[in-house]
Structure 1
Amino acid sequence: MIRLLLLVLLLLPQIACHRAGLRANIQESGLVACVQPGALDAKGKVLTCETSAVTIIGDRVLIANDKQVAPPAAQVFSLPLATLHGEVAFETIRPELHEWVTQVRKIEDITRSEAHDLTLISTAFDRTPETGGPDGARFNNLLAIWGHAVEHADVVAPNQSGDIVSSIVLRERFLRALASPEFPAGPSYFKIEGLAVIPPNNVLFGVRETGPDFEHPRYGMTVLHGRFSEDEHGAVVLSERFQRLDLTLPDGAASDLGLSAMAYDHKRKGTWIVGSIEGAEGEPMRSQLFFLPDKRWREGRLDSVLAHRGARQFDLPYKLEGITMLDDHTLLGVCDEDRTLSQVVINNQARRRDLHQGVFVRILVK
């Protein structure tokens, strides 16, 4: 009897933790300018800041804007982590005007493995030379940065066509994994928006959209799992085959979610996964946060993340498109608000985003 009582007492904290579940709330929201206010592109159209990916390298935050811009701006920029609060002016950031930045299009996620001292950067893989014109191959890139030297990035699985070096050969591996009775050779169209490294050497690509073409996307929560290694020349090598995992949403999750961000959590031994919904141009966005424990990741059954109080799913009024662990209790996220003038709160004052600004959030998780 005494042994049984001791066993119950030992299990109580685990049972309570399981019942309590994961909770989250927005600790801080703010704005960061990634282009100059009122800047125009070559066609006279206003340049927008649509932040899509984030990671931390050393004491600096590296952020991507998935819109093509021109100097003095760049589609990748960085700033000291200590300055990412409130409203950040363009003069505070450092545009990363490196050769590799100018050669790629539509960066959708960045992930970092401290164990390997490696940063991986993925584009959308949503266009080809046939659908995207002369620059179509530039939308198909996986880049590797070793250490903290962001001025240089290697193209993973490089393939040269004319003057363009890209990772377009990875498309065939993704297509094989995405094959279905409807699309035996894989869907004609797909879009990558998530990227995460899981110890020791697993890499996950998050697929947001599939379909017959760009104009008829089907949103989903699908992950492609592969492995990576380093060859004798220091190049990142990906496995030839990827496994497909269709994630199962918990009760209470919104319908029609599309995967838009992922980040690995070493403390909790699992992956944070974001599903989001895009409204019509100018309409509010919506995102929900989920968690996939390592012990269940092959099942693909996501755990709910609840709001700070109550029993409802944690919702954000933004399209959360890039996340990274800031510390054991905080996720740093950036949001792609397109042309929606979303509202944030800075120093207890409501502020509306301008088109040259991206939205960032700090999310407390427990």
Structure 2
Amino acid sequence: MTFSRRLLPLAAFILIFACKTAKIPSAPLTATITEEGLLTCFAPGTKLQNEPVWCEVSAVAYDGQKLLFANDKDMPASLSPVFTKTLATLADSTQLPTYLMPAAYANGRKYEDFTQTPDRKFILLTTAFDRVKPSSTDWDGYNTILYWRTGDEQHPLVLAPDDTSRTSIAYRTRLAQALATSEFPGSVPYFKVEGLAVTDRQFLFGIREVGTSYKLFKPVDKIVAVSYAVEKTGAGERIRLRDDWRVIADFDPARKEASLPRPLSLSSLEYDPGRNCFWMLTSIETQNQLDAYLWYSTPDDLMADKPFTLVRDAAGRPLRFGHKGEDLTILDKNRLLIVHDDDRFQLPVGNKIRQPNQAPYTIITIRQR
């Protein structure tokens, strides 16, 4: 009895300490759309092979000084699919962007997502990895990840196992193998990358589609992770991927929120180091409907393959964009910028109608209830 009584103060201390240090669950996040506008990507009437060029922006990043965008369509040689604008001139239709002309940008095709390392040292840009031509290198550019030191976008590097490759085609097989299922044992014939997030230890690829081909596939919301390291080289620093590829999440928006339109498929994935959370955009694209919704998850929940949480407005309704949300970037601790790829739909934005040389965007303000 005496020994037990002596333990009581110690047990009480441990309990009090545990209560003080226990992690209190954060309140649900809500968001408000605070700005909508149109980004002018190039001059009106721009053509390629006598056909009008459409601005179909699919990737965005904010490096703290300027915004970087990528168009997922080929551009005339005098322009570039990757360009920059300041935040102050985002909505200014009279000021054209600055185009990034290094050849590496034109060599990559069908860009889908920008991201940044948590320490903000590197910017990365991935293509869709959605096609390859057997016995030919003609389509290798569709399998490319570029990266560069933040602020040094004039010198992009190619993410590859070596220092001389012009594309990242070497990683396509590993992605296909990681996505193998009972339906596609060994590897998946077709898949599409639409998201890329980077933590201090891992690359996370957001997968939108898997199937037999680009004509026969099913929409998915899967996330593939692989470890990486930054290595010193004679020419500076290089990012190297390890060989531990695996699916860490297989999310079904319909099971989480049955009231939303379906199918909703992943269109962007981003790690937010300030909030220590992951943002995910899901979108739907049919002949009659374009729409997108925003979700979030903690790192622990993501790694445990727990469902993402839907972002709602102040009234508790799902926050919806009415456009095909394609990518997002963090502007500051409270605001996110979302860019939309509405293909050739000319939907209204405020009192304006989107023109072929423009892309819609939305800025939202995040709040915690």
- TM class by shorter chain equals 0.7 to 0.9
Task: Report the equivalent of 1:56.
Answer: 62
Task: Report the equivalent of 2:47.
Answer: 40
Q: 2:78 aligns with which of 72, 76, 88?
A: 72
**Deviation, structure 1 residue 335:** 0.8
1:150 equivalent to 2:153? Answer yes
Task: Report the equivalent of 1:138.
Answer: 141
1:108 equivalent to 2:147? Answer no
Contact 1:175 1:186 in 2 (8 A): yes
**Deviation, structure 1 residue 135:** 2.8
**Deviation, structure 1 residue 287:** 0.4
Q: Which moved more, 1:108-117 or 1:98-107?
A: 108-117
Contact 1:258 1:275 in 2 (8 A): yes
User: What is the correspondence of 1:83-102 to structure 2 with a 5 Å cutoff?
Assistant: 83-85=89-91, 87-89=92-94, 91-102=95-106
> 2:42, 2:305 → 1: CA distance?
38
> 1:307, 1:180 → 2: CA distance?
33
Which SS does the other structure have where 2:131 is aligned? coil
**Deviation, structure 1 residue 205:** 0.6
> 2:66, 2:308 → 1: CA distance?
31
> 1:88, 1:60 → 2: CA distance?
17
Which SS does the other structure have where 1:173 is aligned? helix
Task: Report the equivalent of 2:355.
Answer: 354
Q: Which runs of 5+ in 1 are unaligned?
A: none
> 2:119, 2:299 → 1: CA distance?
17
> 1:230, 1:265 → 2: CA distance?
20
1:213 equivalent to 2:219? Answer no
> 1:134, 1:340 → 2: CA distance?
33
Q: Deviations over 1:95-139 (max 9, x none)?
A: 1111111111011001012515011110000010239x7531000
Q: 1:286 aligns with which of 279, 285, 291?
A: 291
- TM-score, normalised by the number of residues in structure 1: 0.87
Task: Report the equivalent of 1:269.
Answer: 276
Task: Report the equivalent of 1:22.
Answer: 29
Q: Deviations over 1:319-365 (max 9, x none)?
A: 111101111111111111100002212xxxx1110111011111111
Contact 1:292 1:300 in 2 (8 A): no
> 1:101, 1:33 → 2: CA distance?
19
Contact 1:219 1:256 in 2 (8 A): yes
Give the AA of the match of 2:122.
Answer: L
Q: Which moved more, 1:304-313 or 1:285-294?
A: 304-313
Task: Report the equivalent of 2:6.
Answer: none
1:239 equivalent to 2:267? Answer no
Give the AA of the match of 1:241.
Answer: D
Q: Deviations over 1:142-184 (max 9, x none)?
A: 11112311011111116799xx821101011101110111111
* Structure whose CA Rg is larger: 2
Task: Report the equivalent of 1:177.
Answer: 178
**Deviation, structure 1 residue 63:** 0.4
Which SS does the other structure have where 2:73 is aligned? coil
**Deviation, structure 1 residue 72:** 3.4
- TM-score, normalised by the number of residues in structure 2: 0.87
Give the AA of the match of 1:304.
Answer: T
Label 1:10 to 1:343 Cα distance change in 2 as closer, same or farther (>3 A).
farther
Q: Which runs of 5+ in 2 are unaligned?
A: 1-11
Q: Deviations over 1:40-98 (max 9, x none)?
A: 211x221000000011124110000001011433100001122113x434x43111111
Task: Report the equivalent of 2:4.
Answer: none
Give the AA of the match of 1:171.
Answer: R
Q: Which moved more, 1:313-322 or 1:109-118?
A: 109-118
**Deviation, structure 1 residue 262:** 1.5
Q: Deviations over 1:177-208 (max 9, x none)?
A: 1011111122211100001112x221111000
Give the AA of the match of 2:97.
Answer: I
Q: Deviations over 1:231-261 (max 9, x none)?
A: 2312110121211021243234443111001
Aligned residues: 344
Which SS does the other structure have where 1:358 is aligned? strand
Give the AA of the match of 1:180.
Answer: T
**Deviation, structure 1 residue 10:** 8.8
**Deviation, structure 1 residue 39:** 1.6
What CA RMSD, in Å, does the superposition of the two structures yield over aligned residues?
Answer: 2.5
Label 1:145 to 1:36 Cα distance change in 2 as closer, same or farther (>3 A).
same
Task: Report the equivalent of 2:3.
Answer: none
> 2:231, 2:20 → 1: CA distance?
46
| Fraction of identical pairs, as percent | 28
Task: Report the equivalent of 1:121.
Answer: 125
Contact 2:191 2:211 in 1 (8 A): yes
> 2:204, 2:295 → 1: CA distance?
16
Label 1:139 to 1:125 Cα distance change in 2 as closer, same or farther (>3 A).
same
Label 1:24 to 1:305 Cα distance change in 2 as closer, same or farther (>3 A).
farther
Give the AA of the match of 2:243.
Answer: E
Contact 1:204 1:226 in 2 (8 A): yes
> 1:138, 1:319 → 2: CA distance?
25
> 1:158, 1:220 → 2: CA distance?
28
Task: Report the equivalent of 1:188.
Answer: 189
Which SS does the other structure have where 2:187 is aligned? coil
**Deviation, structure 1 residue 218:** 0.9
